[in-house]
Structure 1
Amino acid sequence: MRNILLIFRRDYLGYVKAWGFWLSLAAVPLFMIIGAALAGFAAQSSPVRYFAVVEPGSIYADAIEAEFQRREQADAERTSEIVEQLDLPAMGEDEARAAAEGAGVANRKFIAVPAPAESIDGLRPYLLGEKTVSGPLGDKPLFAALILAEDGSELEYWSDDVNVDQLRYLAQDAMLRLARRDALTEAGLDEDFLQTVDDAAFAVPARRIRTVEEQDAAGNEVTMADRAPMFVAGGLAYFLWLMVFSIIQYLLMGTIEERSNKIFDTLLTSVKLPELLAGKLLAVFAVTSTMMLSWGLFAFAGGTVVATQIPGVGNIIEPFAAALANPAIIVPGLISFILGYIMYGMIFMALGSLCDTIQEAQTLLSPMMILLMLPMFAIFIAFQDPGSPLVDIASWIPFFTPFLLILRMPHDPPLWEVLGQMGLMAAFALLILWLSTKVYRAGAVHGAGIGDMGGMLKRMVGLKGKAA
């Protein structure tokens, strides 16, 4: 045990003392903060653009303005729903409407102005920025013009910017609603007829079947407490995948460096090969755990700040904390986590021991990435439909079992399946451990390379056949 700890201490300190480790550690939260700040700044700093509608009357301009107001009202309603879910102090109806309308108008990025000309030739210098038009925010070039065609069959959208299409899409929606309103009017129906029909439709609330005792205590509505276990299981499965993905660089590069510098010969004079492998695997696990723990603390600190600033957020976090503390999820999750990490870690370490240069290691990265992307696809499928027969079958494939078993736990799979898949994982991890030790010994001690893998596998299979 002492030798394992010495190898662990040597490798762990070797990784964490490097500047690159701390830079990569700080890069993720730093980029998240910078990305969020840039996204917010981009949304706030997006320029306000002027547009004009050219038509004999104001039918189409009014329809576009009505579409603006409809979207602002929808945003206000979504905000009210969030406020209600978070149990925040509610505004009065008039106050909330005034605030929503004020925020909607203030956040508008397109403002209608009177058309400075009646034809596209007259509007050309304004659309090209050669002349400006007056508006609420001063003089600006005309960003776009919507011109009714001579035959009245379409509303043409003219602009010098072909990439910003939000205004054109909004105008299309406005024209669609206008056509529906006219059709209803011609049929002798009120323009709110369709909305009235929609409002009369039956709601389809989500209910969860429970025992009588559970229903009396918790009710039958589907709440976040019902959904939280699946989100937590998905987070644990993705966390395991991220941990495995993170160890490739450390295991490959560290092993290549020690092999090329003949450090293995020195180490193996002091410790046994199993102790060397255990210490290295533990060190890399500690390195990646340090990274994940640091990012987790960052997320926790950020969540705490948000929870203190916005009342009611704690009520949303509570179901996730309860699901994370559920033994039925966390115990199988930890077992899958440990076995999956050992299995993948030993594969990468064994392959790294066969490489002398980074170029040789790069030839292994493609199959390794494919090997790692397959579990990610399985995680996605299982998260969408945990009861899929494909998930049931794939969960018995050892490379997928660590991830899929975690995702199946919130749905109470049969105990025999859980125990069987855990046993299969353990047996396969032991097999990988035995094979990887053989490959590592051949590569680190005897200098075998990638080209010798086929011969090594044949010898191992041959020895196994003779023993049988």
Structure 2
Amino acid sequence: MRNIYLIFRRDYLGYVKAWGFWLSLAAVPIFLVIGASFGYFAATASPVRYYAVVEPSDVYAGAIEGEFQRRAEEAVKEARALAEQMNIPLDEAQHQIEDATGGRKYFAVPPPAQTLEELRPWLTGERTVAGPAGEKPLFAVFILSEDGRQLEYWSNDVNIDSLRSAAEIAMRDLGRRDALAAAGLDADFLRQADEGAVQVPAFRLTATKAGESGAQVTMADRAPAIVSAALAYFLWLMVFSIIQYLLMGTIEERSNKIFDTLLTSVQLPQLLAGKLLAVFAVTSTMMLSWSLFGIVGSAISASQVPGMADMIQPFIAAATDPKLLIPALVSFVLGYILYGVLFMALGSLCDTIQEAQTLLSPMMILLMLPMFAIFVAFQDPGSPIVDIAAWVPIFTPFLLILRMPHDPPMWEVLAQMGLMILVTALAVWLATKVYRAGAVHGAGIGELGGMVKRAVGLKGKPKATQP
């Protein structure tokens, strides 16, 4: 154990003392803060823009204005519904509701001219018009065609399409109202029909008490599935992050003949165990630091935002549930060892970074397959494909976590854990053979096939001797 500890300490301190490690550690929270801040400021700092509608009457302009008012009303409803869900009194949530409805960016102004050529100076910014936000040029103008079949949208910035999209929705609703009026129906006929439709609330069947059939689905019911998906992705991210450490570290030690020195003091299994533990500790340090950042952020949000603690509590309960936590821990350890020894063994066969780069493509494909499986399992955990893929060793660590919230048969859980143990043990045994051949005897990537054959007891054809 002392030799394993010494190898672990040497490699771990070598990684964490590097500036690149601390930059990687700080990159994720910094980018999250910058990304969130950028999105917030981009939404709030977007400039107010003016548009005009050239038409004989104000029918189309009124329809577009009505669409913006409808969106504002929907924002108020959503803000109030969120406040009720989070148990926030409406008087305390009034500020958030005002923020949700006070972000309008498009305002209609009277058209300063009637033709496109006459409007060109206002569209190009040579002249300005007065509006709610002061003097500004026209951002866009809608011009009704002569046949009345098109409301042409003219703007000097074709990349911002939100105003035109709002106008399209407004024209569709206007067409529906005209069709309803022509049929002798009220303009609110469709809305009344929607309000009179039969509701379809979701309920979860329970059998805890006699006479009770279940309760309506809440976030507490959905939290286990969300947490399991996060844990599966967390494992995938950890596996993805070990490639660089295992490949680059192994190549460097092989090229510098450090293996020869190390193996004079420790045995090969001890060397492998120490290196795996060191890289696991490095990635765990990064993941735990990011998790701590998320926990601190959640705690601050819970203390500052009323009702946030009630929203977070179901996720905490799901993450600490032994039924999910124990299989997740087993999957984490075995999945890490399985992929870790694979990458380390392949890295021991490379002398240069160029050789390692030839391995990155198949490794990336190997890592993307579990990500596809995670996506499918999250969308439809009961799919037969997921049930079959859960027995494939490269998918089992991820899919076992995702299946736990859906109460799979206990015999399947235990059998898949046993299968992971057997496959991981076999992978460690084979990786030790390959690692010995690469690190000690200097074998290259081209000799991998022969090494695998010899490891499983198959003998290749002897090479012909020269006369």
TM range (shorter): over 0.9
- Measured after TM superposition, the shift of residue 460 of structure 1 is 2.1
Q: Distance in 1 between matches of 2:33 and 2:211?
A: 43
Question: Partner of 1:147: helix, strand, or coil?
Answer: strand
1:271-320 C-alpha deviation (Å, 9 max, x unpaired): 00000000000000000000000000001110111000011111111111
- Measured after TM superposition, the shift of residue 106 of structure 1 is 3.7
Match in the other structure for 1:436? 431
1:43-99 C-alpha deviation (Å, 9 max, x unpaired): 11111111101111111111111111001101111111110110001249xx96x99
Q: Distance in 2 between matches of 1:394 and 1:422?
A: 14
2:390–2:399 CA contact under 8 A, matched in 1: yes
Match in the other structure for 1:189? 185
Q: Distance in 2 between matches of 1:423 and 1:231?
A: 26
Ranges in structure 2 where 5+ consecutive residues have no aligned partner = 461-467
Cα-Cα RMSD: 1.8
- Measured after TM superposition, the shift of residue 387 of structure 1 is 0.6
2:79–2:96 CA contact under 8 A, matched in 1: no
* Structure 1 residues 128-147: aligned runs within 5 Å: 128-147=124-143
1:113–1:223 Cα change, 3 Å: same
Q: Distance in 2 between matches of 1:84 and 1:105?
A: 17
1:107-146 C-alpha deviation (Å, 9 max, x unpaired): 2111111101011111112112222222222221111110
Sequence identity (%): 67
Output the TM-score relative to the length of structure 2.
Answer: 0.95
- Measured after TM superposition, the shift of residue 459 of structure 1 is 2.0
Q: Distance in 2 between matches of 1:428 and 1:212?
A: 39
Match in the other structure for 1:322? 317
Q: Distance in 2 between matches of 1:212 and 1:297?
A: 36
Match in the other structure for 2:292? 297
* Pair 1:176 & 2:172 matched: yes
Ranges in structure 1 where 5+ consecutive residues have no aligned partner = none
Question: Partner of 1:139: helix, strand, or coil?
Answer: strand
2:50–2:108 CA contact under 8 A, matched in 1: yes
* Structure 1 residues 159-308: aligned runs within 5 Å: 159-211=155-207, 213=209, 216=212, 219-308=214-303
1:132-185 C-alpha deviation (Å, 9 max, x unpaired): 222222221111110111111111111111111111110111111111111112
Q: Distance in 1 between matches of 2:79 and 2:198?
A: 24
Task: Decide which of 296, 299, 304 is 1:309's aligned counterpart.
Answer: 304
1:341–1:14 Cα change, 3 Å: same
Paired residue type of 1:197: A
- Measured after TM superposition, the shift of residue 209 of structure 1 is 1.0
* Structure 1 residues 24-43: aligned runs within 5 Å: 24-43=24-43
Deviates more, 1:272-281 or 1:108-117: 108-117
- Measured after TM superposition, the shift of residue 384 of structure 1 is 0.6
- Measured after TM superposition, the shift of residue 463 of structure 1 is 5.0
2:143–2:151 CA contact under 8 A, matched in 1: yes
1:326-364 C-alpha deviation (Å, 9 max, x unpaired): 111111111111111100000000001011111111000
Paired residue type of 1:22: W
Q: Distance in 2 between matches of 1:129 and 1:212?
A: 69
- Measured after TM superposition, the shift of residue 215 of structure 1 is 7.5
Match in the other structure for 2:463? none
1:331–1:148 Cα change, 3 Å: same
Paired residue type of 1:174: A
1:212–1:424 Cα change, 3 Å: closer
Output the TM-score relative to the length of structure 1.
Answer: 0.95
Paired residue type of 1:393: I
Match in the other structure for 1:3? 3
Match in the other structure for 1:374? 369
1:219–1:313 Cα change, 3 Å: farther
2:259–2:440 CA contact under 8 A, matched in 1: yes
Q: Distance in 2 between matches of 1:254 and 1:355?
A: 11
- Measured after TM superposition, the shift of residue 104 of structure 1 is 6.5
Match in the other structure for 2:70? 70
Q: Distance in 2 between matches of 1:313 and 1:46?
A: 28
Q: Distance in 1 between matches of 2:88 and 2:208?
A: 32
Q: Distance in 1 between matches of 2:91 and 2:62?
A: 30
Match in the other structure for 2:145? 149
Q: Distance in 1 between matches of 2:96 and 2:219?
A: 29
* Structure 1 residues 105-120: aligned runs within 5 Å: 106-120=102-116
* Structure 1 residues 323-362: aligned runs within 5 Å: 323-362=318-357
Q: Distance in 1 between matches of 2:46 and 2:223?
A: 36
Deviates more, 1:34-43 or 1:218-227: 218-227
Q: Distance in 2 between matches of 1:175 and 1:310?
A: 39
Task: Decide which of 115, 123, 126 is 1:127's aligned counterpart.
Answer: 123
Q: Distance in 2 between matches of 1:136 and 1:80?
A: 27
Q: Distance in 2 between matches of 1:306 and 1:362?
A: 43
Q: Distance in 2 between matches of 1:174 and 1:357?
A: 62
* Structure 1 residues 90-105: aligned runs within 5 Å: 90-91=90-91, 103=99
1:215–1:449 Cα change, 3 Å: farther
Q: Which runs of 4+ in 1 moved over 4 A?
A: 102-105
Q: Distance in 1 between matches of 2:459 and 2:45?
A: 69
1:213-244 C-alpha deviation (Å, 9 max, x unpaired): 1875x951111111111111111111111110
Deviates more, 1:199-208 or 1:131-140: 131-140
1:5–1:381 Cα change, 3 Å: same
Paired residue type of 2:197: A
Paired residue type of 2:4: I
1:99–1:382 Cα change, 3 Å: closer
Question: Partner of 2:90: helix, strand, or coil?
Answer: coil
